[in-house]
Amino acid sequence: MTVSREASGGDTDLVGGAQAPSAGSRPASAKTSQKRRPRHWGEIAIFVGPALLVFSAFVILPVVLAGYVSFFNWDGGGDLGNFVGFDNYTRVLDDGVFISSMKNNAFIVVMSLVIQGPFALGIALLMNRKLRFRAGFRTMIFVPYVLSEVVAGAMWRLILDQRGILNSLMIQWGIFDTPADAIGWLSDQKLVMWVMIFVLTWKYVGLAIILFLAGLQGVPEDLLEAAQIDGASWWQVQRRITIPLLGPTIRVWMFLSIIGSIQLFDMARLLTNNGAPFDTTFTMAMFVIDRAVTGRQYGYATAAAVILFAISLTAALLFMRFVMRRDNETAEKGAV
């Protein structure tokens, strides 16, 4: 390819009639781009600015203030009191109740993933088939998630209390003679955590099922039909095609389940009457509220809250980095 330049205008012609950008047009284009750049940043500031301001005021600023208050021996009134440095953090990490609450949260996280995930996935695969009253079944499964945590916790406490509905029915059926002989669903230290896991599964498995059903709608039907034509059984189709394609949805649910289990508070507090029996069902969030409101140890409770925040943030970042990295990279490529 040869290039000739006319002396008069300085324009560049390419053989075959193609026109190359003139030397004079490039500076003009650059000037136009430079003029648009401030406008571009102005549009970003207009659209993002209000949200960033609200986020900073209600998220960043409270976290910074909590970190500051945690260094004082504050009782919730008047000035902040004595500066104690990291003493509150040392006491929290030496507190047996807080360590027990961390173990409880870890237990809830693991059991939520191990029980709710496979259970919800199995129901979602079954309900994705052509069934009568499928819409009605989906609605019924999602109803517990619609109930508020306070209502659900109070309702299950009425059912599972020592003198509650369930034990009363067992006495009427002749299984027990008196309420004192009945099972202490919420008072037995070995049983109460499993009861809590059951109630949490009842409450949140509907959300997992709905998410999985939504993800299943994105699995190509022709791919499933091709596998069936090749002789694959229903289980082989699910194991080899459906579940792998459902991976991004499963990982999103896992992320939501982990963060929700770490921050569990309201329903657990109603169900167990604030960590009973003997503080064995405390979660970290319950520990924070109890020490602040009941014990009026706001500096101490704030240190525990900062530790809870650090644990949640670390879990979220690690999960995003090692588990959801491929999903995020795919999303970024799609955006480009």
Measured in degrees and rounded to the nearest 5, phi and psi for residue 142 equal -85, -15
More confident residue, 199 or 280: 199
**Which residue type does 78 have?**
G
Closest CA to 291 of 277, 271, 306, 270: 306
Q: Three-state DSSP class for 83?
A: strand
How many other C-beta atoms lie within 10 A of the C-beta of residue 116? 24
pLDDT at 3 over 50: no
Instruction: Give exposure, 318-329, as e/b (b: 16+ Cβ within 10 Å).
Output: ebeeeebeeeee
pLDDT of residue 330: 73
pLDDT of residue 8: 42
pLDDT at 70 over 80: yes
In angstroms, the CA 284 to CA 102 distance is 6
Give me the residue label for tokens 């602040």.
Answer: 292
pLDDT of residue 327: 78
Tokens of 48: 């993002």
Under the banding of pLDDT at 50, 70 and 90, the label for residue 247 is very high
Q: What is the pLDDT of residues 179-188, one digit of tens each?
A: 788 888 998 9
- The partner residues of 72 in beta bridges, in order of sequence, read 83
Tokens of 314: 């670390």
Q: Where are the beta strands (DSSP E) in the chain?
A: 3-5, 12-14
Under the banding of pLDDT at 50, 70 and 90, the label for residue 9 is very low
Between the two ends of the chain, the Cα-to-Cα distance in Å is 33
Contact between 212 and 246 under an 8 Å Cβ cutoff? The reply is yes
Contact between 243 and 121 under an 8 Å Cβ cutoff? The reply is yes
In angstroms, the CA 305 to CA 68 distance is 12
pTM metric for this prediction: 0.81
**Which residue type does 139 have?**
T
pLDDT of residue 335: 58
pLDDT at 13 over 60: no
Calculate the average pLDDT of the chain: 85
Q: Strands 12-14 and 3-5: what pairing?
A: antiparallel
Tokens of 324: 């959801």
In angstroms, the CA 62 to CA 226 distance is 55
